[in-house]
Structure 1
């Protein structure tokens, strides 16, 4: 068993407080976005034998390379530790993004390697040759945009927005929102104003959804998505975006009625001129309670908005971004990987044995996620198909595997190789207490463990 020394990535969208509060430590004053527990070469965790916790950490990817058959077991078929575990702490919206399929990742990576694009280049799209299906389990209230809504639902929101624009004659003359008062005012037509553009989107989406044709619906979603994000289009300068948000801010009743439009205004507080603000209208807005989970296959457009969660994915850092970010945006490449289809929210409902043990099994071959809640799961043995990464998310948890023992507090984690004895889970209490108190019960331990399905 190895204790993990985990790097924290300080991406701009990270929360300055969520991880610090979670680990009961002082904030650093910097955004703390992701704690990485894995062997991805971008930020491998350090591994320290549990039997010698004061020794120098060895990067986990180097440790695995020293004996892949023993440490990875049947996971060696992937050629790497197949998953990456993170604690994700979003203080502001992440980029609108999607991830490639395995074939797309392999082709994109090979092309950029052949083209001599440096691995660290900010304009590089493919950091590795792997896909990145993922899931997230909320630890706090967690908000996200996830997958395209039905064309009718999205069209209805754009129709409401068009009505708001038509009812705002006092908008600034230079905003592009002035429509006149003739019979064609507010109707779709040449996209020479955002009002006309929005009305056109509403008409296009509502029309495609009426016939029950998934191909037509997907084509309408794709056209609106790509027009909004066109770097040479009318929305790119941000003037239209800012003016539309200003109009919505004057329509509180509409915002109360339409969660997606309210979400767009909220996102604009962080990215006031970004066309991704309007893209959010196309996507499901969902709010996860602690313990709820979603899974995201390749091609699913998504953006996490705020909250702390356990995120697990195939071991990849490949992200194609479309907005809400200062990082590289490549709309043509994003368009190639996005699945333009309306989908239901991909909730991942766990299986439960009723004794403090839950198993999340998304439809991916790289991982499953177990959650063990103590004291109900006291003495439970972890499922161990292949290697295991386990992280404590509440209270204190003690893991025992053969002669090795590790006691974990929130945010602390371990790696167990495939050749190690199965680990058992116990509630840990302060050394000076023999019996738990009511306060200890309130802080009962929770452990998440990731292994092969």
Structure 2
């Protein structure tokens, strides 16, 4: 078992207090967005080995059969786990399929694009299906709404714009009307492109014009919840057409313990909250808006699945008292949520590599004769050779209800 020292990424959208509150420390005052728990070369966790710290990727590559067991077939630790703390909306984004990732990565390698270049789209050759389990109330945009619903929203917005302008039809108002008609014909791709394409009116002041009309609406929260979400996002990104892309997407509000999973092609954006995120080990993100990072709309459109979908909730399976399992439809990972108290000692059959992180109070994680105590936000990597035939046991290390999340191979 190797205790991990995990890097915290300081992306601009990160919360200034959520991770600090989890860990019981004083906030730094700077954004703290993601704590990476894994072996992705972009920010590998450091593993404690014989009193020294080495990258978890280096540790695993030195003896993959021992550390990964049957998961060595993936060619890497197949999952990446994160504590994600969103204080502001993340980018409008989607992830490629495995085939798209391999092709995109190979093309950029052949073109000589440096892997750390800000304009690079494909950081690695892997896909990135993912799942988020809420630790606090958590809001997200996830997948396309039914086109008839988003068409009706743009139709109402078009009427409000005409009323606001005393019947005058501005360029932005005409485009909003066109979006209504595109969606009435179920043309999601056309509406998406009309909003995000370079040179669109929504990139030339049109978004701010629409937002000003939304702000003038009475009883906004009760009458137009989708518009209310767009207005909230506009407080951070007032001129970004991603504000209006939000009107195409499902708004999801999770309570602690609820989860959603995001397959390739699902357009999404997390809005705020703290959660445990698990994904295939990749950093491939195609962005379309709500970010200062590289945006490549044509490449994003290649990977997006333009079809309305119900919200992909991941319902937990009750394994035993104090132990539930989130099993999304991906082979790289599953996630165990264990809540030990003085009466329960949840047991996790990993039979492969595992990463456990304490997410409430302190826990003792043991495997065979070895045990470590983790404070909130601390994590441990357990190799496949340790878990094969030996379950992981989780105990509360102090009075009160504790919680840990354990990522294992799916």
Give the TM-score taking structure 2 as reference length.
0.97
Is 1:93 aligned with 2:59?
no
The answer to whether residue 269 in structure 2 is matched with residue 303 in structure 1 is yes
Report Cα offsets for 1:412-453 as digits up to 9, x if no partner.
110000000432111112xxxxxxxxxx33xx1111111112
The one of 402, 414, 417 aligned to 2:368: 402
The equivalent residue for 1:12 is: 12
Q: 1:96 to 1:376 in 2, by over 3 A?
A: farther
- For residues 57-80 of structure 1, the C-alpha deviation after alignment (integer angstroms, 9 at most, x for no partner) is 110000001110011001000000
Q: Is the 8 A contact 2:336 2:405 kept in 1?
A: yes
Cα displacement string for residues 327-375 of structure 1 (whole angstroms, at most 9, x for unaligned residues): 0000110000000000000000010135111010000000010111112
* Residues 1:122 and 2:102 aligned together: no
Contact 1:276 1:322 in 2 (8 A): yes
1:445 counterpart residue number = 402
Write the distance in 1 (CA, Å) between the matches of 2:251 and 2:41.
Answer: 33
Deviations 1:10-54 (A, max 9, x none): 0000011110111110111210000000000000000114xx6xx
Deviation at 1:255, TM superposition (A): 4.1
Deviations 1:53-106 (A, max 9, x none): xx2211000000111001100100000000000000000000000000000000
| Larger Rg over CA atoms | 1
Contact persistence 2:179–2:194 (CA under 8 A): no
CA contact (8 A) 2:320 2:346 kept: no
- SS of the equivalent of 1:228 reads helix
CA contact 1:377–1:425 (8 Å) conserved in 2:
no
Deviation at residue 383 of structure 1 after TM alignment: 1.8
Distance in 2 separating the partners of 1:130 and 1:353:
31
Aligned residue runs from structure 1 range 20-59, under 5 A: 20-49=20-49, 55-59=51-55
Cα distance 1:391–1:398, how it changes in 2: closer, same or farther (>3 A)? same
- Counterpart of 2:189 in structure 1 is 222
Answering whether residue 146 of structure 2 is matched by residue 150 of structure 1, we say yes
Distance 1:286 1:3 in 2: 34
- In structure 2, the residue matched to 1:374 is 340
Alignment of 1:259 with 2:225, yes or no, is: yes
Query: Are the counterparts in 1 of residues 314 and 328 from structure 2 also a CA contact under 8 Å?
Result: yes
Q: Tell me if the contact between 1:395 and 1:409 (Cα under 8 Å) persists in the aligned partners.
A: yes
Conserved? CA contact 2:10–2:33, under 8 Å: yes
Q: How does 1:50-89 map to 2 (within 5 A)?
A: 55-89=51-85
2:394 match: 425
Counterpart-to-counterpart distance in 2, 1:313 and 1:377: 32
Q: Secondary structure at the match of 1:43?
A: coil
Q: Which runs of 4+ in 1 moved over 3 A?
A: none
- In the alignment, does 2:182 pair up with 1:204? yes
Give how far 1:233 is off.
Answer: 1.7
SS at match of 1:235: helix
Q: 1:377 to 1:83 in 2, by over 3 A?
A: farther
**1:102 corresponds to:** 98
CA distance in 1, matches of 2:84, 2:218: 32
Matched, 1:162 2:147: no
Cα deviation digits, residues 91-140 of structure 1 (max 9, x gap): 00000000000000000000000000001110000000000000000000
* 1:245 paired to 2:211: yes
Instruction: For 1:359 and 1:416, locate their aligned partners in 2 and report how far apart those are by CA, in whole Å.
Output: 18
Distance verdict in 2 for CA 1:194–1:319, change over 3 Å: same
Shift of 1:401: 1.5
Q: Is the 8 A contact 2:354 2:384 kept in 1?
A: yes
Alpha-carbon distance between aligned partners in 2 of 1:294 and 1:385, rounded to the nearest angstrom = 25
Question: 3-state DSSP class of the match of 1:393?
Answer: strand
Query: May I ask how many residue pairs the two structures share in their alignment?
Result: 407
- Give runs of aligned pairs for residues 294-333 of structure 1, distance below 5 A: 294-333=260-299
1:203: Cα distance to partner? 2.5
Whole-angstrom CA distance in 1 between matches of 2:156 and 2:228: 12
Q: CA deviation at 1:400?
A: 1.4
Root-mean-square deviation (Å): 1.3
CA–CA distance in structure 1, aligned partners of residues 226 and 165 of structure 2: 24
Structure 2, unaligned stretches of length 5 or more? none
1:378 to partner: Cα distance: 2.6
